Amino acid sequence: MPLISDKLPKIWYGGDYNPDQWPREIWQEDLRLFGKAHIDVATLPVFSWALLQPEEDRYDFAWLDDIFDQLAGGGIKVCLATSTAAHPAWMARRYPDILRVDFEGRKRKYGGRHKSCPNSPTYRLYAIRLAEKMAERYAGHDALVAWHISNEFSGYCYCDNCASAFRTWLQKRYGTLEELNRRWYTTFWSHTFYEWEEIVPPNILTEYWQPDKPQFQTIALDYNRFQSESLQECMRLERDAIRRHSPDVAITTNFMHAYKPLDYAAWARDLDVVSWDSYPSNRTHPAEPALWHALMRGLKGGQPFMLMETTPSQVNWQQYCQLKKPGTMRLHNYQAIAHGADTVMFFQLRQSLGASEKFHGAVISHAGHGEARVFREVAALGAELHRLGDKVVDARVEAQVAILFDWENWWAMENTAGPSKDWQYMPQISKYHRALWEQNIPVDLITTETDLMKYQVVVAPSLYLLQPGYASRIEAFVAAGGTFVTTFMSGMVDENDIVVPGGYPGELRRVTGIWVEEFDALYPDERNEIACGSDIPALAGTYEAGLICSVIHAETAKVIGTYTKDFYRGTPALTRNRFGAGTAWYIGADPEPGFVGKLLEHLCTERGIRPLLVTAENVEVTCRSKQGRTYLFVLNHNPAPVRVDLNGAIGTDLLTEKALEGTVEVEGYGVVILETITGNRTS
């Protein structure tokens, strides 16, 4: 059975639909055009709270009943949204507790969206009630295939309700104020708290000296956790209301890939399926969406995910909203499928006439007919996905290399003061991911809950904050034969952002076999170098490195590379430690990308991990497999055709139904999906 719903055993194709913006005669035309484009799922009503609950005690579902039935009659399934992402104006007027207080301490007024306080009793009461009423009403509808809670949960609130809930959250976490004072290190700057009421949300009026830099990190980190959990609780309460009536339909909420304020790793535990909204621009390097897809796939241990939103053409919110050039919409969507998406869903199906999304791309544009370029491309892709049937549905990506991604680490490292404003998490993650992507080596993004033993190589760039017990899990992984790679500024602090004394990298000192005495921050125009001798021929050479240079003492580790400049010239910059049956590497500075590529290639080769295929630049290869069949995706991100050597693989291209072997030509922005029966690969 497909993971999301057995009612639609194919790659779902459709998207957000706002029939409430249109008269009913347009609905008929929409259904006709949906059929023409092979659209089989519509998400609605994402922002219709004001229509569904026009007054405090009155709900109106008549129009939704009508369109639900019409869609079902046209063979279109429904992904039903709970509509709680933008509260009605009457609610804000009558119950101001629903309005957030922002980071600057300003009480918001009605307007925009996503501005409900997550600890507002009014918001929780009415959001849960609406979700419950919808679940009661539509749970048994045959066209219902998924639940979509709210929309793109986001932002933090700093109001008095949140302050009060924060104190309760802290009491639960720390028990006593004495323990909180100890764990928060409140002896610093006279921060000792005598009463719980003295603790207030950290914002620009209190602990922040810049919008992204608190001066008292322990409280800021806990507020990150608390606000993420508050919104998660709102989502969970809606989920529970739905489940009471609709226990068998998959429930999701749409994520925004690496959205820093919310710990999606924790959120994903509450969902049946992860879904997310992907909006690469024409200038987004293709490795970036590959990283986002892998991150979303990793949140539920490799389970396929839903591409809930993407634009068929341009967006309305980038600085320069370029059109998707012919062929690239198709390519971007196959890239999502190649990394584990089991749906392709657009925002939006019909283009709004007014307000901020009127120039956001749509399947049916303002022209309103099926002759536009974008519609024709969408319809062509719809026909292809229709022909693919259930071929790749629920097939899994298998990787032997993983990159650790931890939201709490992200919050802590970027909250902290020093050592460099350019030390940021995403660029570090991207750099190591990119090196693997360029070599067509499958990689999973994993959370701190993922079992490390599934992998041969685990990379944890700048693992500054170590969760309790995580160092022991790394030690066990390496002792059992794993290859672990970590970098500068790792192992520095505990879960409260308090330094682990006794030499960095703290709890990672044993497994890495080094201790770090100091760390130097380089100006952007300064470079040091890492010089590697001929001990490991694949790494021999001198490589630029900068950002932060750790001054390292090797204990049990072997020195593989040394600095060539500054007073720490000749001291270790790159080390390898044998630990049990495995090895742990420490990269003391931020090296040039070429070095990262060489190192990861060397480590993969050592472990027998080979590229799926060796290809020209920007030709991406991924693999999904199920039930003895593998699907090798070859994606040409270049505008010009390329030739790709299949390295002995023989099979059928699912898109052209042609038998392929040897070397094949892939057209500009083209895609090949080579289906092979496992064992058919000759080398």
Q: What residue ranges bind Zn ion (CB under 5 A)?
A: 117, 119, 157, 159, 161-162
Residue 453's alpha-carbon distances to 164, 341, 450, 676, in angstroms, are 42, 25, 9, 28
Phi, psi (deg, nearest 5) at residue 382: -60, -40
Phi, psi (deg, nearest 5) at residue 188: -70, 135
Cα end-to-end span (Å), the chain: 32
Closest distance of CB 160 from Zn ion, Å? 8
Token pair recorded at residue 443: 């990689």
Q: In the chain, helix, strand, coil percent, each to 5?
A: 30, 25, 45
Token pair recorded at residue 298: 């990793």
For the chain, the C-alpha Rg in angstroms (whole number) is 26
Nearest-angstrom CA–CA distance, 632 and 615: 13
Which position among 309, 357, 438, 620 bears the catalytic label? 309
Nearer to Zn ion, 228 or 571 (CB): 228
Q: Tokens 């967006």 map to which residue?
A: 315
Closest Cα to residue 146, out of 274, 333, 300? 274
Number of separate helices (H) and strands (E) present in the chain: 17, 31
| Cβ partners under 8 Å of residue 446, min gap 6 | 298, 402, 403, 404, 405, 452, 455, 458
How many C-beta neighbours within 10 Å does residue 109 have? 11
Crossing angle of helices 407-415 and 217-243, in 10° steps, is: 150
Torsion on CA atoms 140, 148, 300, 403, rounded to nearest 10: 160
Closest distance of CB 259 from Zn ion, Å? 19
Nearer to Zn ion, 94 or 369 (CB): 94
Cβ–Cβ under 8 Å, residues 653 and 611: no
Nearest-angstrom CA–CA distance, 234 and 130: 13
At 104 the three-state DSSP class reads coil
Nearer to Zn ion, 117 or 249 (CB): 117
Token pair recorded at residue 428: 């570090």
Task: Please return the burial class of 621, using the count of CB atoms within 10 Å of its CB with bins 0-12, 13-18 and 19+.
Answer: buried
How many C-beta neighbours within 10 Å does residue 359 have? 14
At 539 the three-state DSSP class reads helix
657 in catalytic set: no
Residue 114's alpha-carbon distances to 249, 279, 328, 505, in angstroms, are 25, 19, 31, 40
Closest distance of CB 230 from Zn ion, Å? 8
Cβ–Cβ under 8 Å, residues 598 and 621: no
At 340 the three-state DSSP class reads coil
Nearer to Zn ion, 117 or 471 (CB): 117
Cβ–Cβ under 8 Å, residues 59 and 53: yes
Closest distance of CB 89 from Zn ion, Å? 19
Nearest-angstrom CA–CA distance, 372 and 147: 31
Nearest-angstrom CA–CA distance, 275 and 271: 9
| Cβ partners under 8 Å of residue 571, min gap 6 | 551, 552, 553, 562, 563
152 in catalytic set: yes
Closest distance of CB 99 from Zn ion, Å? 9
Closest distance of CB 408 from Zn ion, Å? 22
Nearest-angstrom CA–CA distance, 403 and 455: 10
Closest distance of CB 86 from Zn ion, Å? 16
Closest Cα to residue 95, out of 129, 120, 118, 115? 120
Task: Please return the burial class of 422, using the count of CB atoms within 10 Å of its CB with bins 0-12, 13-18 and 19+.
Answer: middle
At 145 the three-state DSSP class reads strand
Nearer to Zn ion, 119 or 562 (CB): 119
Closest distance of CB 58 from Zn ion, Å? 27
Which position among 152, 229, 529, 601 bears the catalytic label? 152
Residue 209's alpha-carbon distances to 49, 202, 510, in angstroms, are 38, 11, 37
Nearest-angstrom CA–CA distance, 368 and 457: 52
Point out the residues that are catalytic: 152, 309
